[in-house]
Structure 1
Amino acid sequence: MRWSSRNATDCSNGPISARCRHQRRLANGAVVVVAGVASTLDLDHLRAAADQSATLRAALLRHRLAIYAQIQQTAGCNAAHPVESRLAQCLLQTYDLSGCDRLVLTQESMAQMIGARRNSVSLVAHTLQQANLIHYSRGHIEIADPDGLSRATCECYAAVKARYNRLLCPRRLP
């Protein structure tokens, strides 16, 4: 069995390739979990634009700092916190960053995102649904009560959200 887990969740306006500014190959991959529009940009063009624009360089640096902070927080969270709070955090981050309250996620993909077993995610999703925090049906999740779901998270959700607000998109996340 191959194990994987989510290290970071990026917002729709985040430059995924910014983290590879000085390298040709990525050490990791990106998975799209919410439908949307994406663009690609040749790395050499990105470098040239960043070399000419202090504003772009600063934006790329802020994005990289936010992603690194989230990776560190997620590693600690996965090691220290229960599946319930990790799943609630993952769902809320996806909700916050996508602007969508309806997510298409299977239990298997959620399990991979939080580094848990699928049957654990199934039990937790059922518990969250019983509490009317989410509505879940065969790969479709609706965030029914974001405030209630926020109370089910650990402190890691607020820490990551505050860092994103400071560095990236203060008007995007309330």
Structure 2
Amino acid sequence: MADYPVELVRQRYLFDGTPVTIRPIRAEDAAMEQDFVQHLSADSRYKRFMSTLKELPPGKLKYLTEIDYVRHLALVAIIEQEGRQVEIGVARYVAGPSGDDCEFAIAIDDAWQGSGVAGILMLSLIDAARARGMRKMEAFILASNDKMIKFARQLGFEVRRDADDPGMMHAVRSL
């Protein structure tokens, strides 16, 4: 496992001026990640995980928090709320077999959608992926997820219906 990439830790501000810390996830963030997923609406969980899970099973939670920071990188957005750190978003990529392409996923707490945190996370993730040798980023998006399709297009992804599954869209961007 690579050393924790402190160079990816950033302080940013949301549209309303709220300070947010963007940083790579750590294994010790497992409880915070679980809280984040449990706090998502059923619709948001379905759009992110394409299943109706209510919480992350132990193996999935470990997979999402114990990462190598090169082939698998997750950036979390954290705010201070009532004296504790609260995760309001996460964006991640996982490299494909070739090692120079990756698939991304993003989830934003329902209360923070439209705050600017998704753009901050994705631009940071794209930069980090490029710096780690990724040449292409892609995602599979539910065809009914209009907000995500629009967001991907705004980030420069080419979005088309998936030839193998008409219920999915395929977003691709060269890095």
Q: When the two structures are superposed, what TM-score results if normalisation uses the length of structure 1?
A: 0.29
Greater share of residues in helix: 1
Greater share of residues in strand: 2
Larger radius of gyration, structure 1 or 2? 1
Q: When the two structures are superposed, what TM-score results if normalisation uses the length of structure 2?
A: 0.29
